[in-house]
Amino acid sequence: MQELITIIKITKRKKIGFAAALCILLIGGILYSLADRYLIEHVEVTVAAPQTPSVSTSSDEAQAVPEQVEQDDWNYKSEDTRIQIKKVETGTGSDMITYYVADVQLEEPALLQAAFAKNAFGRNITEDTSTIAAENNAIFAINGDYYGFRNDGVIIRNGTLYRDEPARDALALLSDGTMKSYNEEQLSSSELLAEGVTNTYSFGPVLVKEGAVADDFDKVVIDTNFGNRSIQGSNPRTGVGMIAPNHYVFVVVDGRKANYSKGMTLAEFADVFVGLGATEAYNLDGGGSSTMYFMGRVVNNPLGKQQERGVSDILYISE
């Protein structure tokens, strides 16, 4: 009898051990799957660093004195690039909002470019906005759409198609210095490229279309990825608008910091662009990603902590 009891105890221990091992394997598998999806880098394409676009000149111009540049902490002016940045504060106390507006006018549309973190396209490849900007000799930069956080969207950067998985309303920048919103499921990537689209951004929503606030933002959903925070309510935000061809406004809103900036709702954000005279405007990745870079420094205060969050891409201007 004692031997039987001993055998039963050993059998129970084995079953418990097997169950524990199985649980560990399952938990490990789940953790690895999450890490693989959201943390581990997956490089799909290595990209050459974008080159500063050249402007054609005559031989006499080539021998002329180099162009004069006027610049300070908030302004930059050369023959082909004009950037003016303003800090705006509204409200007081818990209702205070702080945001930054960059008014940008370019002579050459090609001066507005895109860059990937680590010069690589893929998932979970990130660097701070300021790092990507410095690596590309940017004068000015904002974070992009964080394409690497999702698997869908139509991603064209600097004239090259990297992903073709239509999913939502997106933004297209064109070689004539204009921008427009479009539905990815209604306009093919080949049509976009034929039209002269140089860059697309797949985030949203569309904020302004033909000079008016685009939509009712109450039920906007960008994606349902694990860990993706709702974009409703007051949040830090990044957006780009066009006043006229080659005349853009970039807006970065700080948020989630009491008595400094609570952030903006999408409706408030859209109203800012309308007030600036934008005929088109589009919402890019926000929250901890929202960053504006100018002349070697981060202009805004990400999340009120002076600490950037790594992103997968930027939109930038170089001389």
The whole-number pLDDT of residue 52 equals 55
Torsion of Cα atoms, 308 then 312 then 316 then 319, to 10°: 100
Could you tell me which residue, 227 or 14, shows the higher pLDDT? 14
Structure token pair of residue 61: 């111009």
The whole-number pLDDT of residue 82 equals 98
Q: What is the pLDDT of residues 186-220, one digit of tens each?
A: 999 999 999 999 999 999 999 999 999 997 787 67
The whole-number pLDDT of residue 29 equals 66
Q: Assess whether pLDDT exceeds 50 at residue 91.
A: yes
Please tell me the least confidently modeled range out of 41-50, 67-76, 231-240, 299-308.
41-50
Task: Give residue limits of the domains in the chain.
Answer: 1-40, 68-317
The whole-number pLDDT of residue 24 equals 74
Q: What is the pLDDT of residues 259-282, one digit of tens each?
A: 999 999 999 999 999 999 999 999
Q: Assess whether pLDDT exceeds 60 at residue 36.
A: no
The fraction of the chain above a pLDDT of 90, given in percent, is 71
The whole-number pLDDT of residue 218 equals 75
Could you tell me which residue, 64 or 173, shows the higher pLDDT? 173
Mean pLDDT of 23-34: 63
The fraction of the chain above a pLDDT of 70, given in percent, is 78
Mean pLDDT of 132-156: 96
Residue 226: band (very low, low, confident or very high) from pLDDT cuts 50, 70, 90: very low
Which residues in 147-180 are b (16+ Cβ under 10 Å) and which e? bbbbeebbbbbbeeebbeebbbbbbbbbeebbbb
Q: Assess whether pLDDT exceeds 60 at residue 106.
A: yes
Could you tell me which residue, 226 or 94, shows the higher pLDDT? 94
Q: What is the pLDDT of residues 37-60, one digit of tens each?
A: 556 777 787 887 666 555 554 445
Q: Assess whether pLDDT exceeds 80 at residue 2.
A: no
The whole-number pLDDT of residue 227 equals 45
Average pLDDT over the chain, rounded to an integer = 87
The whole-number pLDDT of residue 147 equals 97
